[in-house]
Homo-oligomer: A and B are copies of this chain.
Amino acid sequence: MGGTALNILFVMYDQLRFDYLSCAGHPHLHTPNFDRVAAMGVRFTNAYVQSPICGASRMSTYTGRYASSHGAQWNGFPLRIGEMTMGDHLRKLGMECWLIGKTHMKADKEGMSRLGLSPDSVIGARQEECGFDVWVRDDGLWGQGPDGFYDEKRSPYNEYLKSKGYESPNPWADFANAGISDNQIASGWMFDNADKAANIREEDSETPWLTSQAIAFMEQAKGTWCAHVSYIKPHWPYIVPAPYHNMFGKNHVPQAKRHALEREGAHPVYAAYMEGKISEAFQQDPVREKVIPAYMGLIKQCDDQLGRLLDYLEESGQLKDTMIVLTSDHGDYLGDHWLGEKDLFHEQSVKVPLIIHDPRDEAQGTRGTTCDALVEAIDLLPTFVQAAGGNVPDHILEGRSLEPFLHGKATQTREFVISEFDYSPTPQCVKLELEPRDARLFMVFDGRYKLMHAEGGFRPMLFDLVSDPDEFVDLAKDNEHSAEIDRLYGYLAQWGRRLAQRVTKSEDDIKAMRGRSRRKGILPFLKDGTEVPAELTEAYRGPALQNHLDERKEAGE
C-alpha cells in the first residue's frame, strides 16, 4: 500500500455521448461542471468501451477485462462466480469500494448455489453486487409489464418517491418518467412525449436523488474509499422535469449524421439494425426534434448535479484528496447512421467521455489538457489500483493504468482498441437466422482504420476515420482494401491469443517458481547423478535407506 490517502469518486453516466459536453465541443449544450473537471484534469478524446451495451460494458469496467474474458456479454448474463471485481482488487489494498446507483450486475445464482454461497453472507452479498458494498443499488429501469417488473429487486428510488407522497405502485413510471397531458399520463416511453415535463418535483427526480445519496455517503465515509456513483441518466426514457424539459428546442438539434450511401449494399448486421423499431423511429426528424432536446436537458441536469458533488468536495476540503473520474458506459446514436440506441461500433456508440482529475502533485503538468491516445474503459481499474498504492495484477486485469498519461509520463500507447457486441438475444439475431453463438461482433480500431468483424460468415466492415471521419463509407464493400483488413484481422488474431485466464499465477509468481521442483527432488534429467550439485544428491541417494544399507554393510551382513 502506498502512503497516499487518495479517495476515488468514480462517476458513471449511462448512454452519455462523448460529444454532448461543451468541453468536447458541443455547440449548444453548456456543461460548466464537466468542463470544470476537465480544467482540473485530463480529458481523454479517444476512450472506448469494451462493449456498446450497458451490462457487458460495465462488467468490463468493473473487472478490468474484455467481454470475452469475463463472459457476461449481454444485459442479464450473470457474471460468473469467482470473476474478480473492482471491489476485490481495491479492498485488498485497504480501499473500500462502494456502490451508489446502477451496475446492471446479474448474480450467478447457479454458481453461488454450486459453491454454497449464501446471499446473506458478506462474501455472498458482494458476489451478488459485483464486488461492491452497497450504499444504494438502483439500476434505474423499473419497467413493468404483463410479466411483472423488469428488475426483480425492490427499487429504493421508488420507495423514496412513495415516502415523498408520489402515490402509485410504480412512481418511477408514473411520475419520474412520465408527464401529464390532457389529464392523461404521457409516458416517457413514447418519444412523442419527450417534450413534456416529467410529473415530478425536480429535486425528487433520479439524478438529484442519487446525488444526495452520494453526498450522504461521503459525509459519513471513513478511511480511503472508492465510491462508484452510477447514474441511470441520460439513458431513456427520454423525459426530464422542469426546468430542463424546455431548455433546448428544435433549433439545438443538429442534422442527423447519416448518408444515403450507408444504405447501399449495407452490411447485413448493420442493415438489420437500421430496420429495427428504434432505428425507424429515430429516422424520423420529429422524433429527433423531441428526443434530443430532452436528452440535452437530462445532461444539463447531470451537469448541475455534478456541480453539487464538486461543491461538496470543495467545501468539505476533500477535493485535494479525491480523484474524480467521469465517464459513461456507451453512447447513443440519436438517429446518426440511421440508428437509434447504441449496440454497433460507430463513434457515437462506442466512444465515451472520459475525464479524470488526479489531485496528486505528479499530475500538476497535465491539468486542463486533453489526451488523444487510444484508451479503453478497462484501463480504469488498473488506474485505481495504482491510485490505491498497489501493483497492477496484470495476469488478471487486461487494461493498462492511465497513470502515465495523468502524470505526463506515458511512453507507450496501445496499437489498437477492442470492443465486442453479443446480440444473441435480439430480434436482429432472429432476423439473420443465426444461432446465439454466431451473433457476435468484434471491433478493432487502430486510431485510423476501424474494422468490424461479424461471426456467422459475414464480410467485415471497414472505415477510414482520416478520410471519412463521419464513417459513411464502408470500405469493405469493395475488395480494394485487403491490406488494411488483413492488418486489422492480424490485431484481432493477436488479441484472440491473449493471456486472459491464467489468473491464478502472476508473472512474478511464475518467475519465482523456476527451478523449485528440482530442489524438491524432481530430477528427471539424471544420467548418472553427476549433473546436479551435491546439495541435491540426497534427493536420489535415499538417505534413510542408504544409512540402513551402510549399517548392514558395516555389520558384515
Contacts and interface: CB of A to CB of B under 8 A. Distances in A.
Interface of A: 68-74, 76-84, 88, 108, 110-111, 114-117, 121, 123, 127, 141, 143-150, 167-170, 173-175, 178, 180, 183-185, 187, 189-192, 236-237, 276-278, 281, 284, 287, 340-341, 395, 422, 424-427, 429-430, 435-437, 440, 442, 453, 455, 489, 492-493, 495-497, 499-505, 507, 510-511, 513-529, 531, 535-536, 538-542, 544-546, 548-549, 552-553
A123 B518 CA distance: 33
Contacts of A185: 540-542, 545-546, 549
A174 B542 contact: yes
A523 B277 CA distance: 10
B144 A278 contact: no
Nearest to A276: B525
Given A69-B501, A123-B115, A501-B70, A436 B507 contact: yes
**What are the 7 closest A-B residue pairs judged by CB atoms, nearest first?**
A496-B496, A143-B521, A71-B501, A82-B82, A187-B540, A493-B493, A145-B521
A117 B114 contact: no
Given A492-B493, A493-B493, A514 B281 contact: no
Given A493-B489, A505-B77, A115 B117 contact: yes
Contact of A521 (B68, B84, B150, B287): B150
B82 A81 contact: yes
23 contacts: A74-B510, A78-B505, A80-B82, A82-B82, A82-B83, A115-B115, A115-B117, A115-B123, A116-B117, A145-B536, A146-B539, A147-B520, A174-B545, A178-B542, A185-B541, A187-B526, A187-B541, A187-B542, A191-B526, A436-B510, A440-B499, A496-B496, A501-B501
Most buried by B among A276, A284, A520, A546: A520
A395 to B, nearest CB: 8
A552 B170 CA distance: 19
Contacts of A552: 183
B190 A528 contact: yes
Contact of A192 (B426, B489, B493, B527): B527
Contacts of A121: 116
A65 to B, nearest CB: 9
Given A145-B536, A191-B526, A521-B149, A72 B545 contact: no
Contacts of A495: 496
Given A143-B539, A185-B546, A185-B549, 13 more contacts: A78-B504, A78-B505, A79-B504, A80-B82, A116-B121, A116-B123, A147-B520, A168-B542, A169-B544, A174-B544, A189-B523, A281-B526, A493-B496
A390 B191 CA distance: 48
Given A80-B82, A116-B123, A189-B539, A514 B111 contact: no
B71 A504 contact: yes
Number of chain copies forming the complex: 2
A126 to B, nearest CB: 10
Contacts of A287: 527
B70 A519 contact: no
A520 B552 CA distance: 85
Contacts of A535: 146
B524 A236 contact: yes
Nearest to A175: B545
A507 B440 CA distance: 13
Given A435-B507, A539-B145, A496 B497 contact: yes
A116 B127 CA distance: 11
A131 B11 CA distance: 41
B504 A426 contact: no
Contacts of A150: 517, 520-522
A425 B510 contact: yes
A204 to B, nearest CB: 15
A489 to B, nearest CB: 7
Given A145-B539, A497-B496, A520-B145, A514 B115 contact: no
A56 B265 CA distance: 47
Nearest to A422: B502
